A and B are shown apart, each in its own frame.
Chain A
Amino acid sequence: MIQKIVSKNFDIADSHTLKVAQANGRYTSLDTLFSMSAKEVVNEVGKSGLRGKGGGGASAGDKWNLIPNPSDKPTYLIINADESEPGTFKDRQILEFDPHLLIEGIICSSYAINAHHAYIYIRGEYVFWAKRMQEAIDEAYAAGILGAKILDHDYALDITLHRGAGAYICGEKTALLESLEGKRGHPRLKPKGKEPEWFYGCPAVVNNVETIASVPYIIKEGYEAYRAFGTKQSPGTMLFGMSGHVEHPGIYEIPFGVGMLDFINQVGKGVKDGRKLKAIIPGGSSCAVLRGDEIEDITLDYESLKQHGSSLGTGGMILMDDTVFMPSVVKNLFEFYHHESCGQCTPCREGVGWSDKLMGKILDGHGTKKDLDTLISLSDVLNGKTICVFAPSVAFIIDSYISKFKDEFYSLVK
């Protein structure tokens, strides 16, 4: 079941140092890379079907194709290392155990979109991981892998590491860009048509760490090798995580399409202390919750989870056993969202706070049926009326938890 592509070097001692990384295949895709044109690299990645692994799942190749070529302005590659979706802790494994793989991926991807400066935006709390990453960058510069020439090839690239400072919303790509421009991390309005992202008015691509770390394999082995894993629409592999009530929490790389239950039982060794699985959040708190008895036919890919009314998200599953009281879970999540709303849109700023307050009242036993109805109606206020999908995620929480665990919520109100 385990299929190591991105995680191949994770278990090797000192895999984060240049010496060990190089001895284990890092930077070997670069000869192939520089024998190709930028256009060919974009095509190769497009054909591989590589999808963004930060939660959205959009095609990486399509995104890269939006960059004007040639362009009269500089182009930028920006790596989203902000991971802060509850339940998600996969990118930090790459930063910790194989930072040179990320650098190699950045070189490949920058070359493809003709960027000469890439930024890694890392969440503020990841101090240890930022140091690790910076050490790897410094080593790469010293070895002539970054800078004016990349291993004697006629291509210049700089990488700058940029630390966030504690704002969940900066994981949203346009909020991240605002933050990188030195502002409050407020998501931007979506453009009408398809266009690249913009960094100080220059075209930019924002990709997640794991996405970029998947690129060297595709360049070196070819798109067909990547497509040999996974399903037709969700090709390749992904770092899936398990946390909460599971016997062996952790991050494991598997091809898309594996049965969810098999993954939990075989790799995660089942629910903690042999209890019964009551509920599961598939990929971070923004995904609709699933009941334990709903997951039998689910396979771990974008399509299957969508069919079952949820989403794959970041692949970071949170398991809950039969001792868990769902209204407490919802309260916990509301507190998270209440704290993290960027405050830009009124429905979100006020609606999430209101939901949190109502849920607190209900949980404390002071709520009425009317309060619960108000809460349910807030879902409509939050869905589709805001700048970004943060508020709609809260709406999904209201809808999915209350409909699936109705009795528990109604048992609390008079």
Chain B
Amino acid sequence: MNFEFNEENEKKFNNLLKRYPNKNSLTLPALWMIQYQEGWISQDAMQYLAKRLELSPMDIYSIASFYTMFHLEPVGKYNIQICKTLSCMLRGSENIKHIIENKLGIKAGETTKDMKFTITEVECLGSCGTAPCICINDDYVQNLDEQKVHEILDNLTHEETPK
């Protein structure tokens, strides 16, 4: 098995054990730790977590696959999540999607060959008042218009962190 928590996560994990009446509650926090450590959640990592929580690997898989934010396969370095729900749709999210797709040469749901970009369509991000909105990895980019999208993508292609 080739997954183990790094030192920092090991410490976090042990601290969290004290904060819940039952260690089952650590499933989600621990899956997050794995994802931040590795970029995604591999079968090895799920088996590792199952041991740590005294659950079956199938339990972990069933939970990990229920929540849409866990990546059970590797994703690009920048995961561009486009909100497509109503408030964003009314403010032009469809157009934003087309710009991004055209610029990166992939469709929503795909990853570029160099593993740099993934486009994901997501449901309401809770940013309806500043729609249209996308989220790049952990960061929201709100009140988007065409120009802003071009700027962001150009910056990312040149490796700068999104604002």
Is A316 an interface position by the 8 A CB rule?
A: yes
When chains A and B are docked, how far (Å) is the Cα of A163 from the Cα of B123? 18
Residues in A with CB closer than 8 Å to B70 are: 165-166
Q: A165 touching B69 by the CB < 8 A rule?
A: yes
Which has the most chain B C-beta neighbours within 10 Å: A123, A164, A249, A251? A249
Which residues in window 118-163 of B have CB below 8 A to A?
122-131, 135, 138-140
- Using C-beta atoms within 8 Å of the partner chain, give the interface range for chain B: 35 or more
Pick from A123, A165, A241, A333: contact of B32, CB below 8 A. Answer: A165
Which residues in window 57-80 of B have CB below 8 A to A?
62-63, 66-70
Q: B86 touching A329 by the CB < 8 A rule?
A: yes
Measured CB to CB, the closest approach of chain A to B80, in angstroms, equals 14
Q: A180 touching B85 by the CB < 8 A rule?
A: no
Is A310 an interface position by the 8 A CB rule?
A: no
Pick from A128, A166, A241: contact of B138, CB below 8 A. Answer: A128
Measured CB to CB, the closest approach of chain B to A202, in angstroms, equals 7
In the complex, the chain A residue whose C-beta lies closest to that of B65 is A184
Query: How many positions in chain A have a CB within 8 Å of any CB in the partner chain?
Result: 57
When chains A and B are docked, how far (Å) is the Cα of A166 from the Cα of B53? 22
Residues in A with CB closer than 8 Å to B116 are: none
When chains A and B are docked, how far (Å) is the Cα of A127 from the Cα of B137? 10
Pick from A181, A243, A332: contact of B25, CB below 8 A. Answer: A181
Measured CB to CB, the closest approach of chain B to A296, in angstroms, equals 22
Is A34 an interface position by the 8 A CB rule?
A: no
When chains A and B are docked, how far (Å) is the Cα of A164 from the Cα of B31? 11
Measured CB to CB, the closest approach of chain B to A67, in angstroms, equals 16
Is A263 an interface position by the 8 A CB rule?
A: no
Which among A85-93, A299-307, A354-362 touches the partner chain?
A85-93
Residues in B with CB closer than 8 Å to A241 are: 128-129
Report the tally of A-B residue pairs with Cβ distances under 8 A: 138
Which among B2-10, B15-23, B106-114 touches the partner chain?
B15-23
Residues in A with CB closer than 8 Å to B97 are: none
Q: A164 touching B27 by the CB < 8 A rule?
A: no
Q: B123 touching A339 by the CB < 8 A rule?
A: yes
Which residues in window 77-111 of A have CB below 8 A to B?
83-89, 92
Is B28 an interface position by the 8 A CB rule?
A: yes
Is A125 an interface position by the 8 A CB rule?
A: yes
Is B42 an interface position by the 8 A CB rule?
A: no
Q: A163 touching B28 by the CB < 8 A rule?
A: yes
A126-B126 contact given A202-B21, A332-B89, CB 8 Å threshold:
yes
Q: A336 touching B123 by the CB < 8 A rule?
A: yes
Is A168 an interface position by the 8 A CB rule?
A: yes
Q: Interface readout for A19-41 with B: 1 if CB under 8 Å, 0 if not?
A: 00000000000000000000000
A125-B126 contact given A167-B68, A180-B25, CB 8 Å threshold:
yes
In the complex, the chain A residue whose C-beta lies closest to that of B128 is A243
Q: B28 touching A86 by the CB < 8 A rule?
A: no
Residues in A with CB closer than 8 Å to B130 are: 89, 249
Residues in B with CB closer than 8 Å to A185 are: 66-67
Given contacts A127-B138, A128-B138, A339-B123, 14 further A-B contacts (CB under 8 A): A86-B85, A86-B86, A86-B123, A89-B129, A124-B67, A158-B19, A165-B68, A167-B67, A180-B25, A182-B26, A184-B63, A241-B128, A318-B90, A324-B90
- Interface residue ranges, B against A (CB under 8 Å): 19-22, 24-29, 31-32, 53, 62-63, 66-70, 84-87, 89-91, 122-131, 135, 138-140
22 CB contacts below 8 A, A to B, read: A86-B87, A89-B128, A125-B135, A158-B19, A164-B28, A165-B31, A165-B32, A166-B67, A166-B70, A167-B68, A180-B25, A181-B24, A184-B62, A185-B67, A244-B131, A320-B90, A324-B90, A329-B86, A336-B85, A336-B123, A336-B124, A340-B123
